[in-house]
Chain A
Amino acid sequence: MKFAGIIFANLLRKKVRLLLTLGSFAVALFLFAFLAVVRYAFTGGADLADAHRLVTINRTSIIQPIPLSYRDKILGIPGVRRVTHDNWFGGMDPENQREVYPELIVPDDQWNVFLKDRQGAIAGAATAKRFGWKIGDRIPIKTTIYGGGAWEFNLDGIYHGKRPQDDETQFWFQWDYFEEKVPDRFKGLIGWYTVQLDSPDSAVRVAKTIDQDFLNSPYETKTETESAFAQGWVKQFGNIEFLILVIGSVVFFTLLLVTGNTMAISVRERTGELAILKAIGFKDGSILFLVLAEALTIALFGGILGLGLAELAMPVLSNALSGMLPNLILSKTMLAAGLGFAVFVGACSGVLPGIGAMRLRVVEAFRRI
């Protein structure tokens, strides 16, 4: 690449300006990466959802409970293979939970200990790591709901997700222990059912049947696919995707203006030199190439720097936000999209000054210098 010497010499001409421009790209790409993982943390649930699963909640809202007695009726619907139930606090159905969520892996030996331990608990790997728990620990948890007071658990197992994006922040414990501890008014009521189907093809029919079965009861239900449930869940927070899109657009538009202005100044300062290059035989295309190459080099290096920092920072951020958001995963697709955006902004910021340089009339330029 025989023009590399000229390109890098020009880039290093104003080192402070170069550093600031690289910094602009790095900060913007860092922010891009952060927004991308937060967006995915909110919306990725739909991608991770299993097509074999339905979620049944109280028709009023997920905050309202539904009776445990619905389970047997749901199990009787053709096409339903298994049903498990959970609630906010962590009480769940130990008989079916592991089978309904096969992507959350609990080793057999740990699971068997858990089944026999009334105060047993299984924690997600992220939660265990966050609080420094290890198997065998006695965990007291104070609560202001469900009658208050302290609940004590034995950590019998730690589950891991099959995929990096799987939620490893949950805390499960025996439903019987929950029933034993809560005041009478909460007994026999669960938070939601997760229904495992024989085939995704029966999802619409089964969902409709469940909701019809409990129509006009004190606890009407709303059943939807896990994917639809995940999407509805995110909508409760507002239009996160739109918000992130707006913030991202503002960042990139600002970056475009900043780098475009920088490139324009950089080219204007070099009018005389560009005129010389044209005089000695550099064609318009070569001049455009030199300017674009500079802009793209800045964009690429700044982008790599920002995304590299994001890659390093993501585990720290993920840890800091643990419990509020699922795992923050900076995927290869996001990295590629980030670099693509950086290159796009670099090209846009370089193209106008480049065309200006390309169209420079040598005689006019010599008159100005």
Chain B
Amino acid sequence: MVSVNTNGKSDALIQVRGLDKTYRRGGEDIDVLQGLNLDVDKGDFVAFMGPSGSGKTTLLNLLGGLDVPSRGTVSVAGDEITHMSSGKLTDWRARHVGFVFQMFNLVPVLTAYQNIELPLLLTRLSRSQRREHVETALAIVGLPDRASHYPRQLSGGQEQRVAIARAIVSDPTFLLCDEPTGDLDRKSADEVMALIQELVSKHNKTVLMVTHDPLVAARAHVVLHLEKGVLVEASKSRESAAAGGGA
């Protein structure tokens, strides 16, 4: 269950408490996030919407341990990440977070297989175990026959599916998707969103997604609006999304 008003302790998978992020630009402090509270349970699918500059990507970066808050805490599965050292945070990201980006961000000189294998290179898995994991991820995203293709040989939708396979191959605790359909046509966007929904419904993945597209956001269990650094609205229930809100 997603909650934006919780202030005390909870059993939620992701707990955000009093999160502030302030940037200093040109001698002026800019408050991007202000006192954010958020609880996200395992298996939740949350969409963050809001105008440009509202702090959506900043929030995602903080949740993913890519950035550090000015104040407040982020805890994931009991680990408080806000005070971790850079090295520990990197380890933590490798184990707990799968990233999906708008521009896919695949390494162009590596095949789909090699791109998906990247997070597994940081583990102690043997080559055959890695192969098994990569093939499973490729099968989940529906691209088992594209393993040896380079990104330039794939369509945008296929590239994003490879990126999703890379994000899930190490079985992370949750996925962070930053505008995953922002660079896709409607048909490809629908396919990618169907895949993300499947990850939530079939594989019980927790997904936090930033999007500008209301149709894409409508696929989530909960849509949260960020305006001027504050979570101001929650809409749509898990039940209605589970009922199959299409784009």
Chain A interface residues (CB < 8 Å from chain B): 2-3, 5-6, 9-10, 12-13, 272-273, 276-284, 286, 362-363, 366, 369
Query: Distance in Å from the Cβ of B107 to the closest Cβ of chain A?
Result: 5
Q: Which residue of B lies closest to A10 (CB)?
A: B109
A363 B66 Cβ-Cβ under 8 A: yes
A280 vs B119: C-alpha distance when bound (angstroms): 6
B91 A281 Cβ-Cβ under 8 A: yes
Query: Which chain B residues lie closer than 8 Å to A369 at the CB level?
Result: 103, 105
Query: Distance in Å from the Cβ of A267 to the closest Cβ of chain B?
Result: 14
Query: Distance in Å from the Cβ of B110 to the closest Cβ of chain A?
Result: 5
Contact with A along B125-141 (1 / 0, CB 8 A): 00100000000000000
Query: Which chain A residues lie closer than 8 Å to B99 at the CB level?
Result: 276, 279-280
A279 B109 Cβ-Cβ under 8 A: no
Q: Which residue of B lies closest to A279 (CB)?
A: B99
Residue B194 at the chain A interface, CB threshold 8 Å: no
A4 vs B123: C-alpha distance when bound (angstroms): 16
B64 A280 Cβ-Cβ under 8 A: no
Q: Which residue of B lies closest to A369 (CB)?
A: B103
A5 vs B134: C-alpha distance when bound (angstroms): 15
Query: Which chain B residues lie closer than 8 Å to A272 at the CB level?
Result: 105
A3 vs B93: C-alpha distance when bound (angstroms): 19
Query: Which chain A residues lie closer than 8 Å to B93 at the CB level?
Result: 279-281
For the complex of A and B, the 5 pairs showing the least CB-CB separation, nearest first, are: A281-B94, A9-B109, A276-B105, A362-B66, A363-B67
Instruction: Knowing A273-B105, A281-B119, A363-B67, say if A6 contacts B94 (CB, 8 Å).
Output: no
A362 vs B89: C-alpha distance when bound (angstroms): 12
Instruction: Knowing A273-B105, A276-B105, A363-B61, say if A282 contacts B114 (CB, 8 Å).
Output: no
Query: Which chain B residues lie closer than 8 Å to A13 at the CB level?
Result: 108-109
A281 B90 Cβ-Cβ under 8 A: yes
Q: Which residue of B lies closest to A363 (CB)?
A: B67
A12 B118 Cβ-Cβ under 8 A: no
Q: Known A-B contacts: A9-B110, A283-B90. Give 5 more (CB < 8 A).
A: A2-B127, A6-B114, A280-B118, A281-B122, A284-B87
Q: Which residue of B lies closest to A367 (CB)?
A: B57
Query: Which chain B residues lie closer than 8 Å to A10 at the CB level?
Result: 109
A280 B109 Cβ-Cβ under 8 A: no
B114 A278 Cβ-Cβ under 8 A: no
Query: Which chain A residues lie closer than 8 Å to B5 at the CB level?
Result: none
Chain B interface residues (CB < 8 Å from chain A): 61, 64, 66-67, 86-87, 90-91, 93-95, 99, 101, 103, 105, 107-110, 114, 118-119, 121-122, 127, 166
A5 vs B90: C-alpha distance when bound (angstroms): 22
Query: Distance in Å from the Cβ of B99 to the closest Cβ of chain A?
Result: 5
Query: Which chain A residues lie closer than 8 Å to B110 at the CB level?
Result: 5-6, 9
A278 vs B121: C-alpha distance when bound (angstroms): 13
Query: Which chain B residues lie closer than 8 Å to A280 at the CB level?
Result: 93-94, 99, 118-119, 122, 166
A284 B109 Cβ-Cβ under 8 A: no
A-B contact pairs, 23 of them (CB 8 A): A5-B110, A5-B114, A6-B107, A6-B110, A6-B114, A273-B105, A278-B90, A279-B93, A279-B99, A280-B93, A280-B166, A281-B90, A281-B95, A281-B119, A282-B90, A283-B91, A284-B87, A284-B90, A286-B122, A362-B66, A363-B66, A363-B67, A369-B103
Instruction: Knowing A6-B114, A363-B67, say if A282 contacts B107 (CB, 8 Å).
Output: no
Q: Which residue of A lies closest to B99 (CB)?
A: A279
A366 vs B105: C-alpha distance when bound (angstroms): 10
Instruction: Knowing A2-B121, A5-B114, A363-B61, say if A283 contacts B66 (CB, 8 Å).
Output: no
B107 A273 Cβ-Cβ under 8 A: yes
Query: Which chain A residues lie closer than 8 Å to B86 at the CB level?
Result: 284
A10 vs B95: C-alpha distance when bound (angstroms): 25
Other-chain contact of B87, A3, A5, A283 (Cβ < 8 Å):
A283
Q: Which residue of A lies closest to B96 (CB)?
A: A281
Query: Distance in Å from the Cβ of A357 to the closest Cβ of chain B?
Result: 14
Query: Distance in Å from the Cβ of A283 to the closest Cβ of chain B?
Result: 5
Query: Distance in Å from the Cβ of B17 to the closest Cβ of chain A?
Result: 21
